Amino acid sequence: MAEAEESPGDPGTASPRPLFAGLSDISISQDIPVEGEITIPMRSRIREFDSSTLNESVRNTIMRDLKAVGKKFMHVLYPRKSNTLLRDWDLWGPLILCVTLAFTTYILQIFRMLQRDSADSEKDGGPQFAEVFVIVWFGAVTITLNSKLLGGNISFFQSLCVLGYCILPLTVAMLICRLVLLADPGPVNFMVRLFVVIVMFAWSIVASTAFLADSQPPNRRALAVYPVFLFYFVISWMILTFTPQ
Amino acid sequence: MSGGEISSRTLQIFFLIIGRRLTGRMAAVDDLQFEEFGNAATSLTANPDATTVNIEDPGETPKHQPGSPRGSGREEDDELLGNDDSDKTELLAGQKKSSPFWTFEYYQTFFDVDTYQVFDRIKGSLLPIPGKNFVRLYIRSNPDLYGPFWICATLVFAIAISGNLSNFLIHLGEKTYHYVPEFRKVSIAATIIYAYAWLVPLALWGFLMWRNSKVMNIVSYSFLEIVCVYGYSLFIYIPTAILWIIPQKAVRWILVMIALGISGSLLAMTFWPAVREDNRRVALATIVTIVLLHMLLSVGCLAYFFDAPEMDHLPTTTATPNQTVAAAKSS
C-alpha cells in the first residue's frame, strides 16, 4: 500500500495522513446512481450523424473524399514535412493518377491508329494501357516491400499512398507534353519536353523523399530511396518517349 | 563446502554472466539455488517475479523462485551447463535464420545490410584482386538479396532504355524509320536477366553440392552467397549498357571485353577455391562454363537489344535480313 513519507508504525505525528486512509469509509449507497449515459455537451442529434455515414447523401460522401484527395494533392505539390499523407492514407489519388496516365496512353494509341489509318497496330511498340498500369502498381508494391524488408516503420498502404500521390507531377508533365506536341515537332519541341519531364521528375523525387525518408534508419536511407528514383525514372522515360512523332 | 563445489559454483556464475549477456534468457537461473552467494547471486538473478528480494536474508530467496527446489548441486551444474551449452551452440550456429520461412522476419534477414556495406560490395565487384575472395571478404557474414535484386532491375531498364536510345540515334536520319519505344523488350530483358541471375546460381549450387558429396572441398558456398556473387558481378554491365549507346562496333566490342574481363575474373576467382581440390578437368570445365555463360549473356544482350551501327546507311527494307544475319552470327 502506498504510504506517505513517514515510516509505518508511527502513530505519534498527525500531520501527513496516509493517502488512501479514508477509502474504507466510503460506501456506495443505493441512491447514488452509478449507471447512466455519458453525454457530451452537444445536441444529441449530432451523435446520430457521427455514428454512421450511411445516412448522408452521396454528394456529401463524394465531396468529402474529393476534398481529402485534393488536400493531399496540395501536399504533394508543396512538399512540407507533414504527416497528413501518412496518417490519413487513401488510395483514391493513386488510382485516379494511374488511370489518367494509362488512359492517356490509350487515347494516344487510338489517335495514332486513326492517324496512320493502317492495320499495323501490332508494330506500335508504345506502352499499352495494361503495361502502364502494371508498371506503376507493381513498381509501387515492390518499393514498399523493399522498404519494409529493410526495416522501415511505415505501413504497406501508407507507402503505396505516398508513392501513388507523388506521381502527380509526372502526370502533369505528361499532359504538358501532350499539349506541347500539338505544336510542330522538332528539336526545340523535344528540348522543351525534356526540360519539363526532368523538372517534374525531380519534383516527384523530392516530394516522395520528404515523406518516405523519415521512415528508415539513417544508415539505410539511400538503400530505400534508390528504388524510388528508379521507379520515377522509368515512368519519366515512358512519358518522354511515348508521345507520337 | 568443498573446493569442487566452489569451483563448480564459480563456473555456474561465469556461464550465467555470459549467457545473460548473449541471450538475455533467464530460464536457467530460476532453477538455481543461490543461498550461499548473497549479493552476487541476487544481483545476477534480478528475478522479475521477486518483488522483495531481501539481500540481508539470503535464506528467503529460494522462496521467490518459481522453479522447484533442486536437491544437491550436481544435477544443477549439469543442467545449467547443458542449458548454456545449448544456448551457445544455438547462438553460434544459426541465429540469423531462426524464424520459420513463412514469416516476414525470415526474409528481413536477407536485407540486413547498410548503405556502406552495399557500396563496399559493389566496389569489391568492380576491382577483383587476385587472392581476395569476394565472398570471404565481403559477404561471408551476411549474404543479402538487396544487391542482386536491384542491380538486376537497374540492368534490365538500363539495357532496354539504352537499346532504345541507340536505335533511335542510329536511325535518326531515315525518313522511313518510325520510332517506337519498344516496351516489350523490357519484359524480355527482365526475363533473361532475372533467369540468369537466379537459375544459373541454382544450377551451379546444385553442381557444387554434388561434387562436394564426392570430393571433400574445403570451401563451400551456400545458395544465397552464390546468388549474391552473381548479382554483384552483373553491376559492371550497367555502365557498359549505357556506353553501348555509342554506335561504333569497335567501341562496343571493347566494352564487352572489358566488362567480361572484370566480372568473369571475379566469378572465376570466387569459384576456383570451391573446385580446386576436385579433378583437374572438372574444375577447369566448371570455371570455363561459368565464364562462357557470362559471355553469352553479354553478347546476346548486345546483339538483341542494340542494332548494328552500319545499318543507318541502308534503307529499311534491306535492314531486316541483315539484322537476322547479325543475330545469327552472334548466337
DSSP string, B222-269: -HHHHHHHHHHHGGGHHHHHHHTTS--HHHHHHHHHHHHHHHHHHHHH
**Which of A178-187, B41-50, B130-139 has the highest average model confidence (pLDDT)?**
A178-187
User: For chain A, what is the HEC assignment?
Assistant: CCCCCCCCCCCCCCCCCCCCHHHHHCCCCCCCCCCCCCCCCCCHHHHHHHHCCCCCCHHHHHHHHHHHHHHHHHHHHCCCCCCHHHHCCCCHHHHHHHHHHHHHHHHHHHHHHHHHCCCCHHHCCCCCHHHHHHHHHHHHHHHHHHHHHCCCCCCHHHHHHHHHHCCHHHHHHHHHHHHHCCCCCCHHHHHHHHHHHHHHHHHHHHHHHHHHHHHCCHHHHHHHHHHHHHHHHHHHHHHHHCCCC
What pLDDT score does B28 carry?
44
Residue B185 lies in a domain: yes
Question: In terms of pTM, does the model score above 0.90?
Answer: no
Percent of chain B past pLDDT 70, that is, above it, reads: 61
Nearest CA in chain A to B180: A125
Cα–Cα distance between A101 and A133 in angstroms, integer?
8
Cα–Cα distance between B315 and B177 in angstroms, integer?
9
Here the cell at position B150 is 536491384
Q: Is the pLDDT of residue A188 over 50?
A: yes
| Nearest residue, CB atoms, A149 vs list B107, B114, B181 | B107
pLDDT band at B234; cut points 50, 70, 90: very high
What φ, ψ does residue B69 adopt, rounded to 5°?
-70, 135
Q: Is the pLDDT of residue B8 over 90?
A: no
Residue B267 lies in a domain: yes
Q: Is the pLDDT of residue B36 over 80?
A: no
Percent of chain B past pLDDT 90, that is, above it, reads: 21
Q: What mean pLDDT is reported for chain B?
A: 73
pLDDT band at B220; cut points 50, 70, 90: confident
What SS3 class is residue B102? Answer: coil
Nearest CA to B205 out of B135, B137, B155 is that of: B135
Higher pLDDT, B49 or B160: B160
B98-110 pLDDT, tens digit each: 678 788 888 888 8
Tell me the chain A residues in contact with residue B111 when contact means C-beta distances shorter than 8 Å. 146, 149-151
Higher pLDDT, B230 or A210: B230
A104-130 pLDDT, tens digit each: 877 777 777 777 765 555 445 556 777
Residues 6+ apart with CB under 8 A from A18: A1, A3, A4
Nearest CA to B255 out of B247, B266, B264, B244 is that of: B244
| Nearest residue, CB atoms, A241 vs list B107, B112, B181 | B181
**Cβ A234–B157 below 8 Å, yes or no?**
yes
Higher pLDDT, B136 or B87: B136
Tell whether B111 is within 8 A of chain A (Cβ). yes
**Cβ A230–B181 below 8 Å, yes or no?**
no
What pLDDT score does B81 carry?
46
**Cβ A223–B114 below 8 Å, yes or no?**
yes
Residue B17 lies in a domain: no
**Cβ A123–B180 below 8 Å, yes or no?**
yes
A35-81 pLDDT, tens digit each: 766 766 655 555 455 557 777 888 888 888 888 888 888 888 887 76
Nearest CA to B137 out of B266, B42, B285 is that of: B266
Judged by average pLDDT, the poorest of A96-110, B93-107, B161-175, B294-308 is B93-107
- What is the identity of the amino acid at A204? S
Q: Is the pLDDT of residue A240 over 90?
A: no
Q: Is the pLDDT of residue B329 over 80?
A: no
Positive or negative, the Cα torsion across B226, B228, B233, B238? positive
Whether the Cβ atoms of residue B268 and residue B299 lie closer than 8 Å to each other: no
What pLDDT score does A29 carry?
60
Residue B254's domain comprises: 113-307
**Which of A15-29, A67-81, B186-200, B270-284 has the highest average model confidence (pLDDT)?**
B186-200
Residue B138 lies in a domain: yes
Tell me the chain A residues in contact with residue B116 when contact means C-beta distances shorter than 8 Å. 219
Judged by average pLDDT, the poorest of A97-101, A227-231, B288-292 is A97-101
What pLDDT score does A195 carry?
92
Tell whether B182 is within 8 A of chain A (Cβ). yes
Judged by average pLDDT, the poorest of B79-83, B165-169, B251-255, B271-275 is B79-83
What pLDDT score does A227 carry?
92
Tell me the chain A residues in contact with residue B114 when contact means C-beta distances shorter than 8 Å. 219-220, 223
Residue B276 lies in a domain: yes
Tell me the chain A residues in contact with residue B161 when contact means C-beta distances shorter than 8 Å. 237
Q: Report CA B284 to chain centroid distance, whole Å.
A: 25
Judged by average pLDDT, the poorest of A19-23, A136-140, A232-236, B317-321 is B317-321
| Nearest residue, CB atoms, B150 vs list A124, A221, A226 | A226
What pLDDT score does B308 carry?
77
How far is the alpha carbon of B111 from chain A, nearest alpha carbon, in Å? 5
Q: Is the pLDDT of residue A2 over 50?
A: no
Residue B190 lies in a domain: yes
Whether the Cβ atoms of residue A212 and residue A147 lie closer than 8 Å to each other: yes
Q: Is the pLDDT of residue B37 over 70?
A: no
Higher pLDDT, A175 or A243: A175
∠ CA(A107), CA(A185), CA(B172), 5° rounding?
105
pLDDT band at B69; cut points 50, 70, 90: very low
Residue B62 lies in a domain: no
A11-34 pLDDT, tens digit each: 444 456 677 766 666 666 666 667
How many structural domains compose chain B? 1
∠ CA(A144), CA(A146), CA(A152), 5° rounding?
80
| Nearest residue, CB atoms, A131 vs list B116, B178, B183 | B183
What pLDDT score does A8 carry?
47
Compute CA distances A155 → A139, A142, A146, A215, B115, whole Å.
16, 13, 12, 10, 22
Residue B160 lies in a domain: yes
